[in-house]
């Protein structure tokens, strides 16, 4: 072997091989071909017991037992972790590695230049996302910014009597990761502004679960082999959290009926009039994601003009790639606060248009049809309005200067308040300044973007007896904008959420709903915590007449159903 060959061998990327469950133990039992697979995780110098790596640390702490379970150890050859020495239900080391590897693989997928094209930041102050695979006994799993962790619980299935470990569900692990990812990308979506924004958070978790599932060849082969052109004939990817859903059911049903939530639904925005439950909102956009996937898949199958298995596999693979690119890249083009589905639908269209000016396959037309069918828009033209601002309208536009720091970006925005729609009194701050490095699957280099996000707060007064202890308090109405430039300094996109009467009324009614339903625990600094009977999904802090609402992370997935608390995934 030559010296150069030795050098190349030593420079080869080393990987850790980890076995994961592709869906969950129920699906593995019912459909063995969708049981397990091995994934390759890029080796890092800091990978060690836990597993622990540069950005993810498994800390198997059980709060109910006040006990830390021993973490999985690397095998002596440093290529895999020691697992498989016990039956699945007792193999906690496999549980730990399963969650860690799924999170690693999904993060790599999202950060790939074919999707977001940048590193995903965390919203918390620590460098590592903590993972608690056995956080306690509860029918729940959640992400908590305060702990910087994903908390996975276990419980006994109501019908089967068998333990259900949420850390073994690919859908649940990736859904909760989705919350952490979106919190890092858009931290102000965690502010209480509207039911629609809360619903977007739930949708995004579902979108990541669907995206991650279709990143496994075994899943694509299985799904593509079960139907011809129509994906809706199968529930393998549309149904989210099969084992968890069965575990909550009073009676055992078929695997097709076991799920927490399904993307196969006909919900539209018309169904949400007067509705404030976040999961009801999420179903509309989760369904839209699946509609687009099905439309693109059908289009590619028809292009193939064949019904051979391999053609269906290729079509589903490419459809999944197109849809994740369109639906996830759009987040960069969304406002930094109070996102609504109309905003997001426009962002999907605009981001794809900036990347691919020629819509050769008419994917944007497909998206317009989906958005119209879900009643997110009335007419297709609403997705592509004429830009309200052009480069010639902006003062002091020097891309190298404004992209140098958040202070320089602030100065640029401040000098353009009138053009950007900011009042002279808006006390804004720049919360994000970043660059993307995106490419397409065929290595076509899409515009490299410079993105600036800024926010400010107005206030609304909570007048009326309905607000109880919050009465006459002032609640923040978050406002903000997103500017997208290319590296040459051309303005590609601008969106802004301003202080207007419609948003004020929406927030007023949403706050009234939370009080009426007993969803608020009140902290007034004197009486401590207290609330009406019911699920306390939020905490209201009152200080000097100002009200701050914060979400209780552990209660994110609970809603009321006929007066009872129900887990909703």
Over residues 34-82, the pLDDT tens digits come to: 899 999 998 777 789 999 999 999 999 999 999 999 999 999 888 899 8
pLDDT at 406 over 60: yes
Average pLDDT over residues 284-294: 97
pLDDT of residue 569: 55
Confidence band, pLDDT 50/70/90 cuts, at residue 6: very low
pLDDT recorded at residue 254 = 57
What is the pTM assigned to this prediction?
Answer: 0.93
* Range in 1-15, 100-114, 261-275, 356-370 the model is least confident about: 1-15
Given a cut of 90, is residue 364 above it in pLDDT? yes
In a domain, 321, yes or no: yes
Question: Are 209 and 313 members of one domain?
Answer: yes
In this structure, the answer to whether residues 275 and 305 fall within a common structural domain is yes
Q: 344, 367, 383: which is the final residue of a domain? A: 383
Average pLDDT of span 126-134: 97
pLDDT tops 70 at residue 103: yes
Q: Say whether both 114 and 182 belong to one domain.
A: yes
- Concatenated DSSP letters for 276-335? --HHHHHHHHHHHHHHHHHHHHHHHHHHHT---HHHHHHHHHHHHHHHHHHHHHGGGGS-
**pLDDT one-digit tens code per residue, 305-345:** 555 555 889 999 999 999 999 999 999 999 999 999 999 99
- Do 406 and 258 lie in a common domain? no
Neighbours of 446 (CB within 10 A): 21
Do residue 259 and residue 162 come from a single domain? yes
pLDDT for res 369 = 98
Task: Say how far apart CA 194 and CA 209 lie, in whole Å.
Answer: 24
Q: What is the pLDDT of residue 302?
A: 86
Do 361 and 420 have their domain in common? no
Q: How far apart are alpha carbons 207 and 287 in whole angstroms? A: 10
pLDDT (0 to 100) of residue 238: 84
| pLDDT exceeds 50 at position 84 | yes
| Domain end among 383, 415, 445 | 383
Residue 416: what pLDDT?
Answer: 98
Query: What is the domain count for the chain?
Result: 2
Of 378, 323, 388, which Cα lies nearest the Cα of 352? 323
Residue 23 covered by a domain: yes
- Give the model's confidence band at 5: pLDDT under 50 very low, under 70 low, under 90 confident, else very high: very low
| Together in a domain, 358 and 218 | yes
Instruction: Tell me: do 431 and 357 sit in the same domain.
Output: no
Do 354 and 470 sit in the same domain of this protein?
Answer: no
Angle between helix axes 170-185 and 92-111 (nearest 10 degrees) is 40
Same domain, 71 and 211: yes
Cβ atoms of 101 and 37 closer than 8 Å: no
Per-residue pLDDT reduced to its tens digit, 379-400? 999 999 998 899 999 999 999 9
pLDDT at residue 531 greater than cutoff 50: no
ω before 51 within 30° of 0 (cis)?
yes
pLDDT on residue 562? 39
Which domain does 208 fall in, by range? Answer: 13-383
pLDDT at res. 63: 92
Judged by average pLDDT, the poorest of 73-77, 197-201, 209-213, 501-505 is: 73-77
Asked if the structure places residue 279 within a domain, the reply is yes
Q: How far apart are CA 3 and CA 6, in angstroms?
A: 5
Same domain flag for 328 and 465: no
Choose the final residue of a domain: 383, 406, 431.
383
Predicted confidence (pLDDT) at residue 530 exceeds the cutoff of 60: no
Residues 425 and 560 placed together within one structural domain of the fold: yes
Does residue 7 form part of some domain?
Answer: no
Q: How confident is the model at residue 453 (pLDDT cuts 50, 70, 90)?
A: very high
In a domain, 110, yes or no: yes
Query: Is residue 115's pLDDT more than 90?
Result: yes
Cβ(233)–Cβ(226) under 8 Å?
yes
Q: Report, as an integer, the average pLDDT of 195-200.
A: 96
Q: Is residue 90 part of a domain?
A: yes
Tell me the pLDDT tens digit for each residue of 216-236: 999 999 988 876 555 654 577
Structural domain includes residue 3: no
Residue 233 belongs to a domain = yes
**Alpha carbons 37 and 276: distance in angstroms, whole number:** 40
> With contact defined as beta carbons under 8 Å apart, do 363 and 348 qualify?
no
Q: What is the distance between the alpha carbons of residues 179 and 213, in angstroms, rounded to a whole number? A: 16
Distance CA 277, CA 196 (A): 9
pLDDT for residue 4 is more than 80: no
């Amino acid at each position: 072997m030559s010296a150069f060959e030795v050098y190349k061998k030593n420079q080869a990327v080393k990987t850790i091989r980890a076995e994961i469950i592709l869906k969950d133990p129920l699906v593995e039992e019912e459909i063995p071909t969708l049981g397990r697979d091995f994934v390759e995780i890029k080796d890092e110098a800091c990978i060690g017991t836990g597993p622990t790596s540069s950005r993810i640390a498994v800390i198997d702490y059980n709060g109910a037992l006040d006990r830390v379970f021993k973490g999985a150890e690397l095998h002596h050859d440093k290529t895999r972790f020691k697992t498989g020495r016990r039956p699945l239900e007792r193999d906690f080391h496999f549980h730990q590695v399963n969650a860690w590897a799924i999170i690693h693989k999904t993060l790599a997928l999202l950060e790939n230049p074919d999707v977001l094209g940048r590193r995903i930041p965390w919203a918390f102050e620590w460098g590592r996302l903590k993972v608690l695979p056995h956080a306690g006994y509860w029918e729940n799993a959640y992400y908590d910014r305060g702990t910087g962790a994903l908390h996975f619980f276990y419980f006994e299935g109501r019908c089967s009597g068998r333990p259900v470990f949420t850390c073994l569900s690919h859908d649940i692990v990736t859904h909760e990761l989705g919350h952490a990812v979106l919190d890092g990308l858009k931290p102000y979506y965690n502010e209480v502004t509207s039911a629609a924004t809360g619903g977007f958070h739930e949708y995004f978790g579902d979108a990541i679960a669907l995206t991650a599932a279709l990143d496994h060849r075994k899943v694509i082969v299985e799904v593509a082999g079960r139907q011809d052109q129509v994906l809706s004939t199968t529930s393998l990817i549309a149904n989210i959290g099969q084992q968890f859903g069965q575990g909550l059911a009073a009676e055992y049903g078929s695997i097709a009926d076991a799920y927490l939530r399904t993307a196969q639904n006909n919900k539209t925005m018309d169904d949400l009039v007067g509705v404030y439950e976040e999961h009801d909102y999420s179903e509309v956009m989760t369904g839209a994601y699946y509609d687009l996937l099905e439309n693109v898949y059908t289009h590619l199958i028809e292009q193939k003009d064949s019904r051979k298995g391999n053609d269906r596999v290729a079509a589903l693979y490419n459809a999944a790639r197109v849809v994740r690119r369109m639906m996830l890249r759009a987040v960069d083009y969304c406002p930094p606060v109070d996102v609504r589905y109309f905003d997001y639908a426009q962002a999907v269209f605009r981001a794809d248009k900036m990347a691919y000016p020629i819509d050769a396959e008419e994917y944007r037309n497909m998206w317009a049809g989906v958005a119209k069918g879900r009643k997110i828009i009335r007419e297709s033209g609403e997705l592509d309005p004429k830009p309200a601002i052009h480069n010639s309208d902006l003062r002091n536009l020097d891309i190298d200067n404004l992209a140098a720091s958040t202070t320089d970006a602030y100065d640029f925005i401040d000098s353009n308040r009138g053009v950007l729609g900011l009042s002279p009194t808006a006390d804004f701050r720049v919360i994000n300044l970043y660059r993307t490095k995106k490419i397409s699957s065929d290595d076509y280099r899409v515009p490299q973007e410079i993105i600036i996000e800024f926010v400010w707060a107005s206030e609304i007064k909570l007048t009326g007896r309905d607000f109880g202890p919050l009465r006459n308090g002032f609640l923040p109405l978050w406002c903000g904008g997103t500017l997208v430039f290319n590296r040459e300094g051309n303005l590609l996109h601008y969106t802004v959420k301003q202080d207007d009467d419609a948003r004020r009324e929406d927030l007023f009614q949403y706050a009234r709903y939370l009080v009426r339903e007993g969803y608020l625990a009140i902290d007034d600094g004197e009486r401590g915590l207290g609330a009406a009977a019911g699920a306390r999904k939020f905490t209201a802090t009152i200080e000097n007449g100002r009200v701050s609402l914060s979400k209780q992370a552990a209660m994110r997935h609970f809603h009321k159903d006929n007066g009872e608390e129900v887990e909703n995934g």
